Amino acid sequence: MPVARPPAAALPFRHRVRVYWEDTDAGGVVFYANYLRFFERARTEWLRAQGVEQQRLREASGAIFIVGEAALRFLAPARLDDALEVTAHVSEFGRATMSFEQQAWRGDSLLCDARIRVAAVDAASLRPCRLPPAITALLPR
C-alpha cells in the first residue's frame, strides 16, 4: 500500500545520499544494516546544519551520543545509484535522550522508516549525562 509523503514543512531536515556498490548486498539492493548508516549521517548533518559539530561538542561539554534503541521498518528496496533523501526529525526528548523519527525516500517512494533513540553520555566514563546546552537550545520548548 503506498504511503503518502508528508508535506515539506513537516520534515525539518533532509539529507541526500547516493547508493554506492559498498552499500549493496549480493542481490544488488541496499544491505539492511546500511540504512542505519544513512540515518546516522542524516542526524549528524542535522546537527552540522544547526552549527553543532560533534567533535567540538565533545571538546566543549565532554558529551557524545550513543544509540540506545533502533526500530526500523523496511518497505521497498533501494538499489545501486539510487538518489535517496533521508530525513531526521526530533520527536521526543528528555534530560539525556532524544528520539528521532527518520525516513529514507527515493522520489515519492518511502523505502524505510525508523525510530532511533540516542543518549548523551560522558565520553570518558560512558555514563549518561544531560544533553549539552548547545543541543537543548535546538529543541522545541
Question: Among all residues, which ones are annotated catalytic?
Answer: 25
* 33: its cell numbers: 544494516
Three-state SS for 35-92 is: HHHHHHHHHHHHHHHCCCCHHHHHHHHCEEEEEEEEEEEECCCCECCCEEEEEEEEEE
Separation between Cα atoms, residue 37 and residue 112, nearest integer Å: 13
The answer to whether 82 and 115 have CB atoms below 8 angstroms apart is no
